[in-house]
Structure 1
Amino acid sequence: MTVTTDVVQGAERQCPECGEPVTGGGRYIAWCAACEWNIDPEVREERPPGRIERIRRRLAQRHGEQLFTELTTGGTGGGTAAGQRPRRGAAGALATALALVVHGVTFALLAGGLVLLVAGWGKGVLPALGALLLGLAVVLRPRFASLAKVEKQDLPVLRRADAPRLFALLDEVAEGVGTTGVRAVVIDADTNASVSTYGIRQHRVLHLGLGLWETLSPQERVALLGHEFGHYAHGDTRHSLLVGNAFRSLSTWRYTLAPEPADSLLGHFVNLATALPRLLVDGVLVLLDQLTLRGSQRSEYLADTTAARAAGTEAAAGLMNRLLVSDGVTGELRREAVAARTRIGGARREDPAEGLWERLAAHAASVPEHEYERLRRVAERRGHSVDSTHPPTHLRHRRLAGGEPCEAAIVLDPARAAEVDAELAGARRTLAREVVRG
Structure 2
Amino acid sequence: MSITQTPVPALCPQCHSRLADEGGELPWCERCEWNLAFRAPDPALGRFTDRQERWAHRIGYRLDADLFTKLSGHPLTRPGTTAVSAALTAVSVLVIGILLGLAVGGLWLVVAGPFLLKLIGVIMIGCALLCRPRLGRVAPLREKYDELSRTGQPELFALIDRVAAAAGAPVPDLVLLSPEWGASAAVLGLRRRRVLTLGLPLWSSLRPQERVVLLAHELGHFVNNDNRRSLRTQPALAFFGDVAELLSPLRRLVEEDDEEPVAAFARLGQSALGQLLWPAARAAWLVHVLLHVLGARDAQRAEYHADDTAARIGGTTATGSLMDVVACGHLHRTVVGSRARGGARAAGWREAVEQTRAALEPRLGRLRQLTRRRDASPFSSHPPAGLRHRMAVTQPYRSAQVVLTEAAAERLDAELAGFEEGYRRVIAASW
**TM-score scaled by length of structure 2:** 0.79
2:202 counterpart (207, 212, 216): 212
Deviations 1:253-292 (A, max 9, x none): 3332225258655433432342243123213212211221
Query: 1:11-160 to 2 correspondence within 5 Å?
Result: 35-36=17-18, 39-43=21-25, 54=54, 56-74=56-74, 78-80=75-77, 85-120=78-113, 123-153=114-144, 155-160=145-150
How big is each residue's C-alpha offset from its partner over 1:105-130, in whole Å with a ceiling of 9 and x where there is no partner? 2222111111112232xx34222221
> How far has the Cα of 1:414 moved from its partner?
2.4
- Aligned AA (2:158): A
Q: Is the aligned partner of 1:274 residue 2:266?
A: no
Letter in 2 for 1:233: V
* Partner of residue 300 from structure 1, selected from 303, 310, 314: 303
Q: What is the rounded CA distance, in whole Å, between the counterparts of 2:272 and 2:165 in structure 1?
A: 56
Change in CA separation of 1:89 and 1:247 when aligned onto 2, cut-off 3 Å: closer
CA contact (8 A) 2:132 2:239 kept: yes
Letter in 2 for 1:42: G
Q: Which amino acid aligns with 1:162?
A: G
- SS of the residue corresponding to residue 398 of structure 2 reads coil
Q: Give the CA RMSD over aligned residues.
A: 3.0
- Aligned twin of 1:165: 155
SS in 1 for 2:221: helix
For structure 1, the 5+ residue unaligned runs are: 1-16, 19-33, 341-347
Matches within 5 A, 1:182-201: 182-201=172-191
Change (3 A) 1:266 1:384: closer
The 3 A distance-change label for structure 1 pair 223 and 99 is same
Q: Which moved more, 1:165-174 or 1:426-435?
A: 165-174
With over 3 angstroms needed to count, the CA separation of the structure-2 counterparts of 1:372 and 1:264, relative to structure 1, is: closer
1:407 to 388, 399, 418: 399
Compared CA separation, residues 353 and 416, structure 1 to 2 (3 A): closer
Counterpart among 409, 420, 426 of residue 412 in structure 2: 420
> Secondary structure at 2:243's aligned position in 1?
helix
Any idea what the Cα deviations from partners look like across 1:111-156, whole Å, max 9, x if unmatched? 1111112232xx3422222122112222222223223223333x32
Deviation at residue 294 of structure 1 after TM alignment: 1.8
Code of the aligned partner of 2:104: A
Which residue identity is paired with 1:163?
Q
Distance 1:284 1:371 in 2: 39
Contact 2:204–2:413 (8 Å) recurs in 1 = no
Match of 2:187, SS state, is strand
Distance 1:423 1:36, change over 3 A: farther
Match of 2:368 in 1: 376
Percentage identity across aligned positions?
32
1:189 and 1:209 in contact (8 A); partners too: yes
Is the Cα–Cα contact under 8 Å of residues 204 and 346 in structure 2 kept in the other structure?
Answer: no
* Equivalent-residue separation in structure 2 for 1:230 and 1:58 (angstroms): 30
TM-score, normalised to structure 1, is 0.78
- Identify the residue that residue 33 of structure 2 maps to in structure 1: none
Partners of 2:214 and 2:101 lie apart in 1 by: 42
CA deviation after TM superposition for structure 1 residue 188, in Å? 2.5
How far apart, in 1, do the equivalents of 2:86 and 2:96 lie?
A: 16
Task: Provide the C-alpha distance between the structure 2 equivalents of 1:256 and 1:299, rounded to a whole number of angstroms.
Answer: 31
Distance 1:247 1:312, change over 3 A: same
Distance 1:50 1:150, change over 3 A: farther
Assess, with a 3 A threshold, how the Cα gap between structure 1 residues 62 and 239 changes in structure 2: closer, same or farther.
farther
